[in-house]
Amino acid sequence: MHKLLMIPGPIEFTPEVLSSMSEPTLSHVSGDFIKIFGDSLDMMKKVWMCPDGQAFIMAGTGTLAMDMAGANLVEKDDKVLVVSTGYFGERYAELLNRYGADYRILRAEPGKSVDPAEIEDELRTGKYKMLTFTHVDTSTAVRVDPVPIGELGRKYDVLTVLDGVCSVAGEEIRQQEWGIDIVLTASQKAVGVPPGLALLVASPKAMEKFHNRKSPVQNYYADWSNWLPIMKAYEEGRPAYFGTPAVNLVSALNISLSQILDEGMEVRFLRHKKTAGAFRTALKAMGINQIPDDSVAANTLSAPYYPGDIKGPDFIKEVNRAGVVIAGGLHPELKNRYFRVGHMGKITKEDTLATIEAIETSLSVLNHKFDRGAAQRVIEDELG
């Protein structure tokens, strides 16, 4: 029996996306595939809302997308400011260190975001080349507002890098309007494609900085010098080769991006926001609190604390037995105190209800006292 996958990625995928994965593999230089790839690059710029940007599709994970930005835009001793709201902000600092960046980390305590005023105070102190931030940190479910960061990037002439692995196609992002130079993600989250693609859109300013770098890129596979001609060729309908693309995954990406744009970005943003709000309210109805403050809570996942004296492994096992797969904690300071639930991509009201019911069933099995049925009534009321 299939169990509903409600972790923060991989997620549940549409039947059309899954079906495309089983189609015979095309030649990566065939006319049919070149069109699929070129159309996907064009649709990415529409989903990212960055019509003047340069899109990249590469075989790899979200970490590769992070690495692409670091490898191509950072040179030794470049000053980089890392805004960290959890595990993945710390990972970006470690990545940048490999390329010799002179980095500084601004950390928020778990459940909080970094005040833009604090970011500006730091930008005033020295000539930073780049600023990175995690739009939604998968370890804490904290959402950072990109708008003031984009404004600060323009004000201080700093490249801004939005790690959107857990946000693109779920949270509102207007890359070009907000002045964000890099927006990166992975295929298996709100973009709605099985794992295996690193996706990134770079602004004209970011590409100019890349072209003007003084030293070779210290990562052969991620080097845009190798991949940019390939992207340009596919955009223009011409065959090209550097490394073999993940043909079936790109075909699935084409289907999913089409579905996302057919739904409409405004409708999609609102749907994720309503689902997240209903889920948080339903958790409160069961007496369950979460890590982030409501003001910075993500719309793509939730990070609730285990209630009472519930033991995490027992709870996750019971939820699984009830037919739903959720994730344990990831933040090193809190990992044994909370769990994570993804609610992004194709998730429906029925999926949300099934998840709440599985949580309620598990709490009952573990003898936790609460108002059973209250959370399900919240979902019915708020999601119709």
CA angle 58, 63, 65 (to 5 degrees): 40
The pTM of this model reads 0.97
Residue 101 burial by CB count (10 A; 0-12/13-18/19+): exposed, middle or buried?
buried
Q: What is the mean pLDDT of residues 10-32?
A: 97
Residue 156 pLDDT exceeds 90: yes
Q: What is the mean pLDDT of residues 76-85?
A: 98
Q: What is the pLDDT of residue 236?
A: 97
Interval 164-193: pLDDT, tens: 999 999 999 999 999 999 999 999 999 999
Residue 1 pLDDT exceeds 90: no
- Which element (helix H / strand E) includes 55? strand 54-59
Distances (CA, A) of 237 to 34, 50, 162, 163, 356: 6, 21, 29, 29, 47
Tokens 């970094």 — which residue? 114
Q: What is the pLDDT of residue 309?
A: 85
Task: Quote the mean pLDDT of the chain.
Answer: 97
Q: How confident is the model at residue 335 (pLDDT cuts 50, 70, 90)?
A: very high
Residue 289 pLDDT exceeds 90: yes
Nearest-angstrom CA–CA distance, 37 and 85: 34
Strands (E), 232-296: none
| Other residues' Cβ atoms within 10 Å of the Cβ of residue 115 | 12
Q: What is the pLDDT of residue 119?
A: 98
Beta-carbon contacts of residue 64 (< 8 Å; ≥ 6 apart): 58, 198, 222
Q: What is the mean pLDDT of residues 24-29?
A: 96
CA-nearest of 85, 180, 91 to 134 is 85
Q: What is the mean pLDDT of residues 225-247?
A: 97
Q: What is the pLDDT of residue 85?
A: 97
- Domains of the chain (ranges; CATH) run 16-263 (3.40.640.10), 264-383 (3.90.1150.10)
